[in-house]
């Protein structure tokens, strides 16, 4: 199944459409995506794995690999580092995102297969599907939806499923 997120702020979960947040710079071709540009990359991105905070809920019910997060989990976003666009253990010397956050947006993180096979330095990292902020404020380039919608989506996920990010007129 492909879950489609569109630049007008909607994501399809089967027959149901839910609100979503994307990057403030909009949706751009994946070939134009650059680290830190605030854009969401257009394309079909395989669902690779899921990370969740065990202190904030049970593991998501899905058929892809699920990891219990710890405060030492991070994601490297430094294009000059060999671990660019991969999971790292903190503390980590290069620039990185901390997955264990207080704001709750990464309580469930679905890793999307953007720029990961292998990662090309500078073409964007940490493109996730995660929980949105109140009011659906923009992400840094990810796709974000409300937690109940994310849990419903994960209930439907099977190996080989993907999220498509699409620009609409």
Query: Where are the domains positioned within the chain?
Result: 2-166
For 151, phi then psi, to 5°, come to -65, -40
Q: Which two tokens stand for residue 145?
A: 């939806």
Query: 2-166 maps to which CATH number?
Result: 2.40.440.10
pTM for this prediction: 0.97
Stretch (H or E) spanning 3: strand 2-6
Cis-peptide into 67, omega within 30 deg: no
Per-residue pLDDT of the chain (169 residues; tens, 9 = 90+): 999 999 999 999 999 999 999 999 999 999 999 999 999 999 999 999 999 999 999 999 999 999 999 999 999 999 999 999 999 999 999 999 999 999 999 999 999 999 999 999 999 999 999 999 999 999 999 999 999 999 999 999 999 999 999 999 8
């Amino acid at each position: 199944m492909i879950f489609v997120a569109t630049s007008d702020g909607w994501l399809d979960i089967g027959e149901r459409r839910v609100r979503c947040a994307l990057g403030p710079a909009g949706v751009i071709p994946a070939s134009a995506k650059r680290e830190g540009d605030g854009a969401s990359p257009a394309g079909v991105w395989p669902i690779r794995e899921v990370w969740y905070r065990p202190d904030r809920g049970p593991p998501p019910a899905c058929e892809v690999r699920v990891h219990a997060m710890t405060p030492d989990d991070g994601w490297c976003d430094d294009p000059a580092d060999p671990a660019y666009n991969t999971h790292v253990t903190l503390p980590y010397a290069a620039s990185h995102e901390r997955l264990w956050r207080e704001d709750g947006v990464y309580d469930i993180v679905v890793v999307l297969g953007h720029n990961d096979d292998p990662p090309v330095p500078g073409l964007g990292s940490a493109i996730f599907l995660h929980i949105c902020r109140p009011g659906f404020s923009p992400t840094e380039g990810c796709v974000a939806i409300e937690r109940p919608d994310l849990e419903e989506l994960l209930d439907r996920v099977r190996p080989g499923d993907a999220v498509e990010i699409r620009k609409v007129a």
